[in-house]
Amino acid sequence: MAVRRLRSRVLASAVSVVALSAGALVPTGVTYAASSPTITPVLGGLAAPRGIAFDGQGSMYVVESGVAGEGPVGMTHSGKVSKYRWGSSKPAWSTQFNSLYATEDPSAPPDVLGPEGISAFGRGCMKHHRHGRHNGCQVRLITSESTPGILAATNGQVNDPQAGHLYRLDGATGAATSKSDVGSQMYQWTGDHVDLFPSDFPDSNPYGVLVMKDARTGRIRTFVADAGANTISEIRRNGTARVVSYLPNEDFGAFRDSTPTCIAQGPDGYLYVGTLDFVSNLFVPPGTGGFSQVWRVDPNANFPTEPTVWASGLTTITACTFDRHGNFWATEMFAGGLNATPPGDIVRIPFKHPTRQHHIGAGQLPVPGGIAQGPDGAMYVTVGSAAPGANGGVMRVATH
């Protein structure tokens, strides 16, 4: 039986509504030069690449959600996180994770969910730290869904003990340590707050993660965006999740369609959260987008404190970050609508002028999934993030 809720799995389901030429996703050796951006392939042959991050030494971390196996529903061990030293296309290490796959539409490839978001900082990520001392390197990975949610959705057919976990990765070796089963906690939280979404809760699908240093206290803090529970949570040192905010989910577009997918730390220390709004953007006439928003969230707030809208008018946000100049960047997975060839774009918004949007790379960045700024100042974007098989990659976007 396929997983039951499209809302919490719509990121992977995207491939069932758009056909992409696998060979055209990452055209090796081709550079796109427009009046503003220069777009160059960096990596190819990746299986549903989603999250991407750089540490303080310039090493790049890329997340692959994986590939499907045989049958309509099941689990493979094809999810992966790989670390690339600056300038290298060969991984320094790769760590494998589980991938859930399920068929929503028999005429389309199965949907795949596995490891998703990644966040990193620090300059000590080449060293192996003993006795738990990791202050010089912070790398966090989030995996999607939840163990109880998958069990319920598949009538007990699939048991994924990694689902919905927050992992700390050793920057030197790739060794993964689970820090929190946030998916199970949010599944329980939504069950306890079923009145917020009676037709859908309980539900959980952790998707975005941010590890940051608090500018005021110097503490290392980790936050998770849950695309199924609609929550932003802070993960405490003991692994418990504190719900910071519940994003409003029914105030525009399609009913109850808002889906938080990413978190970025703004220049003011607040959290900036992007939403997908898949149905509103693609299936509410005219289906050409503009329904996604960016919410400003106080990291020290507690539910039920409501966030505020910082920017609007975007389309299917899947990842976000701030560059070193304070500009907000986001990937728009289906910018241009389903008839675009291919859909996908990225957008840059000045922090002090959130109504100004500069869209970059339309038609050249197929269904982008993740974005991060490299040590050279360019933006690095995962593409083909919803394509079946190993047909995705990483593109470098340099603006002039």
Average pLDDT across the chain, whole number? 89
Q: Are 174 and 184 in contact (CB under 8 A)?
A: no
pLDDT at 1 > cutoff 60: no
Both tokens assigned to 111? 């949907």
pLDDT of 190: 98
Q: What is the pLDDT of residue 133?
A: 53
What was the pLDDT predicted at 375? 97
Out of 22-26, 128-132, 235-239, 266-270, least confident range: 22-26
pLDDT at 304: 96
Percentage, residues of the chain above pLDDT 90: 76
pLDDT digits (tens, 9 = 90+) for 170-200: 999 999 999 999 999 999 999 999 999 998 9
* Average pLDDT value for residue range 111-116: 94
Residue 129 has pLDDT above 50, yes or no: yes
Helical segments of 114-209, H only: 147-153, 182-192
Q: What is the pLDDT of residue 169?
A: 97
What whole-number percentage of the chain has pLDDT above 70? Answer: 89
What single-letter amino acid sits at 127? Answer: K
What pLDDT sits at residue 174?
A: 97
Cα–Cα separations (whole angstroms), residue 17 to 11, 105, 108, 366:
11, 9, 8, 14
Q: Is pLDDT at 222 greater than 80 in this prediction?
A: yes
Token pair recorded at residue 400: 């002039």
Q: According to the model, what pLDDT value does residue 7 have?
A: 44
DSSP letters of 237-296?
TTSPEEEEEE---SSSSSTT---EEEEEE-TTS-EEEEE--HHHHHHSTT-S---EEEEE
Cα separation, 24 vs 44, in Å, equals 11
Q: In the predicted model, is pLDDT for residue 302 greater than 60?
A: yes
How far apart, in whole angstroms, are the C-alpha atoms of residue 155 and residue 162? 18
d(C-alpha 298, C-alpha 270), whole Å: 5
Kindly report, residue by residue over 6-27, the tens digit of the pLDDT: 344 444 445 444 444 334 454 4
User: Is beta strand 37-46 parallel, antiparallel or unpaired with respect to 392-399?
Assistant: antiparallel
Q: What is the mean pLDDT of residues 101-105?
A: 84
CA distances from 391 to 45, 64, 81, 381 (A): 5, 11, 16, 14
| Domain 6-399, CATH | 2.120.10.30
pLDDT tens for 23-77 read 445 444 454 444 578 999 999 999 999 999 999 999 999 999 999 999 999 999 9
Question: How many residues can be counted in the chain?
Answer: 400
| Angular region, 82: left φ>0, alpha ψ -120 to 50, beta rest | beta
Would you say residue 257 has pLDDT above 50? yes
Using CA atoms, how far apart are residues 44 and 64, in angstroms rounded to an integer?
12
Q: Which pLDDT belongs to residue 213?
A: 92
Q: Quick check: 262 and 247 in contact, CB under 8 A?
A: no
- Cβ(326)–Cβ(267) below 8 Å: yes
Domain assignments of the chain as residue spans, ordered by start: 6-399
Q: What pLDDT, on a 0 to 100 scale, did the predictor assign at position 275?
A: 97
Separation between Cα atoms, residue 248 and residue 88, nearest integer Å:
42
Using 50, 70 and 90 to split pLDDT, how confident is the model at 400? Answer: confident
